[in-house]
Structure 1
Amino acid sequence: MFILNPNSGTALGKYADVVEKTIRSFAKKYGTDATILFTKERAHATELVAENLTARNWQAVVAVGGDGTVNEIAKPLVGTNTPVGILPMGSGNGLARHLGIPLKLEASLKRLFEGTATTMDSGQLNEIPFFCTAGMGFDAYVGHLFSQQIERGLATYVNVSFQAYWSYKPQHFRLNGLDTNAFSLSIANAGQFGNNAWIAPEASLQDGLLDICTIKPFPKWYGTALAYQLFTRQMKSSKYIDYQSITHAVIETDIPPMIHYDGEPFQMDTTRIEVRIKPQSLKVIL
C-alpha cells in the first residue's frame, strides 16, 4: 500500500501521475500489485492506514513524501508486524538519508522491492511519536515559519532560517530539573533534520537511546561556524553544545512551547514534556 502526499517537497504534486505510473510499473516487474492512495490534508495519511491496514496482509505500507508523511504513516504501525517503506520525496528526507535510502524514485523503488525489514527505535514527546528528530526552540520556530511558506525546498528553508536567526531569542528550559537557557533543544533518534543537516552525528536508530542536543546561547558571529559543523557532520560537545544520551527525560518550560516532531510544527498546551524512547518498535524496509 502506497500513500502519496501530493503536498510534499517541491515537485511531487506536479508529477503525481508519473510517480503513480512508475510505482505500478515496478510492482508489476516484481510480481505484485500496488494500491495507491492520496492524502488530502494533514493527518489524513494516519486515517488511511487505520482504515485499510486490516483489509489485506500488506507487505508494507509505503510513505511517498517527506518526514512528516513518514510520521503520519508510521504512527499506527508502531508495535505491529507491518513494516513502513519510504520513497523519499519531501523537502528534507532526514530519516531516509540517515537510513541510506536513495533519493531518486526508481532507485528507492528498487531498494524497496528488493530490501528486507529491520526494526528501529522510535521516540515520544508526551503522546506524540517521532521517528527522526524532534525538539523546541529555534528549530521549532523555523519549522513553524517554514510551514507557512508557499514554496518548499532547501532554498526556502535556508532563507527562512537566516531571517529568523537575527531576531530569535534563546528560551528558558528545565531539563531533568536543571535550569538552562538554550538557543535550541533537539531530540535525535536519527542523526539529522534533513538535507544532511546532522544535529547528532553519533545517533543510532537501533541503540535504544535518544540523543538530546542543547545549543546554548552564543555570539551572533558563531552562527556561521555552527552552520558549517551542522552541514559537514562535525557537531560535537563544546562550549556552546551539550549532548546527553537518554531513555527518558523531562523538559519543563515557562509557557507551553512550540515544538516540532519530524519537522512538523505543533503548539503544545502543557509546560511539562516527557521524552521517551520506544526501543525496537517500528519495522522499516531497507
Structure 2
Amino acid sequence: MPGSYLFILNPNSGTSTGKRTSYIVDKIQAIAGKYDCEAVILFTKERGHATALVSENAGLRDWKAIVAVGGDGTINETAQPLVGTDTPVGIIPLGSGNGLARHLGIPIALEKSLIRLFTGDPITIDSATLNDIPFFCTAGIGFDAYVGHLFSKQKVRGLASYVNVSFRAYWTYKPQVLKLNGLNTNAFSISFANAGQFGNNAWVAPEANLQDGKLDICTIKPFPKWYGTSLAYQLFTKQMKASRFIDYQSAEYAVIDTETPPMIHYDGEPLQLNTTRIEVKIKPQSLRVIV
C-alpha cells in the first residue's frame, strides 16, 4: 500500500555500498515510485548514527516502515529505537554477512529486496539484550568475538576476508575459562542465537526460532585441531548439532562470569566490556519486521 518509508543507508556497509551509493539511491526511488510510495533517504556518518537518526525522525511521520540499508550492524542500530513500537523495520541487506536477512528469507539482491519491502507483510519477532545492549541476530563470547574484533580492523570486507582472518586466528586463539549459569565451563565460544546464523549462511544454531521466546545457546568446547575442518563443514551446511564438542540449550536468561573483562560481539559488532559479568535476556515478540 502507498505510504512513506524512511531509509537509513550506511555507505560503509559491505564491500561496495560506498561505491554504488548513487545507484542504490536511484534504485530505491525508482522501485518506490512503482509502488506509489515515498522514499526518504538519510545517510549514516559513524557508528551509532543510525540509532540517532531513527530516534530523531521516527515521530515526524506515520512511517510505513523504517528501513535499514546495510548489514546486521546497521539493522541493529536502526531497530533499537523501534523495539516495543508498532513501526516495523524493513531490511535491504547490503552487509558482509546479512545473517538476519538470510534467516528471514529476505532476498539479498537489491531490487528483489526492495520489491519484498513494498509487497511484504510485517511479522513480530523476538529481540534480546546482552548487558542491556540490544541484539536481534546473534551475540556471543570467545572465538567468534575475537574474529569479529580482528575483522573490524580489515580494510577489505566480505566472506573471503572473514575466512582468511578466521583461519589465521584459529591457530593462536586460546579457549577461555568461565562460568555459564554458575557452572565452570572451558569454552572455545558461546553463542546466543535469536536467529540461526552469523551471516553468509554460517548456521551456528539451525533450530533457532525468532518467534519462540527463547535463545538457543551454543557452547563449543575446546577440540583437537583436526576437528576444525569438520566444524566448519557443519557450520556452512546447516548441520551443527549436539556432540561431544558442541552443547545446545534453550533459555530465556543466561549469565556468564569471566576472570577478566571479555571481548563480545552483538550482531557482528565487537565490543570490549569493562565488566566480568554478562547477562543475556530474551524480549519476546518485541520487534515488527517486514518479510
Q: Compute the TM-score of the two structures, normalised by the length of structure 1.
A: 1.00
Alignment match of 2:79 (pick from 51, 74, 90): 74
Pairwise CA distance, 1:27: 1.0
Pairwise CA distance, 1:43: 0.5
Quote the residue 1:184 is aligned against: 189
Does residue 28 (structure 1) correspond to residue 30 (structure 2)? The answer is no
Quote the residue 1:147 is aligned against: 152
Q: Distance in 2 between matches of 1:242 and 1:173?
A: 15
Deviations 1:20-77 (A, max 9, x none): 0000011111111100000000000000001111111100000000000000000000
Q: Distance in 1 between matches of 2:100 and 2:184?
A: 31
Does residue 5 (structure 1) correspond to residue 10 (structure 2)? The answer is yes
Does residue 52 (structure 1) correspond to residue 57 (structure 2)? The answer is yes
Pairwise CA distance, 1:85: 0.3
Write the mapping of 1:78-117 to structure 2, written as runs, cut at 5 A. 78-117=83-122
Q: Distance in 2 between matches of 1:268 and 1:61?
A: 30
AA paired with 1:284? V
Runs of 5+ unmatched residues, structure 1: none
Q: Distance in 1 between matches of 2:77 and 2:226?
A: 38
Deviations 1:175-204 (A, max 9, x none): 110001000010000000000000000000
Q: Distance in 2 between matches of 1:173 and 1:124?
A: 20
Quote the residue 2:264 is aligned against: 259
Quote the residue 2:3 is aligned against: none
Pairwise CA distance, 1:126: 1.2
Quote the residue 2:253 is aligned against: 248
AA paired with 2:139? A
Q: Distance in 2 between matches of 1:138 and 1:200?
A: 16
Q: Distance in 2 between matches of 1:4 and 1:79?
A: 23
Alignment match of 1:118 (pick from 123, 128, 135): 123
AA paired with 1:50? S
Pairwise CA distance, 1:125: 0.5
Deviations 1:123-152 (A, max 9, x none): 111110000000010000000000000000
SS of match in other structure, 1:156: helix
Q: Distance in 2 between matches of 1:245 and 1:57?
A: 37
Pairwise CA distance, 1:269: 1.0
Quote the residue 2:225 is aligned against: 220
AA paired with 2:162? Y
Aligned length: 286
AA paired with 1:80? T
SS of match in other structure, 1:34: strand
Q: Distance in 2 between matches of 1:127 and 1:39?
A: 23
Q: Distance in 1 between matches of 2:101 and 2:37?
A: 24
SS of match in other structure, 1:230: helix
Runs of 5+ unmatched residues, structure 2: 1-5
Give the % identical residues: 72
AA paired with 1:196? N
Q: Distance in 1 between matches of 2:116 and 2:15?
A: 23
Q: Compute the TM-score of the two structures, normalised by the length of structure 2.
A: 0.98
AA paired with 1:60? A
AA paired with 2:122? A
Q: Distance in 2 between matches of 1:32 and 1:235?
A: 42
Question: Runs of at least 4 residues of structure 1 off by over 6 A?
Answer: none
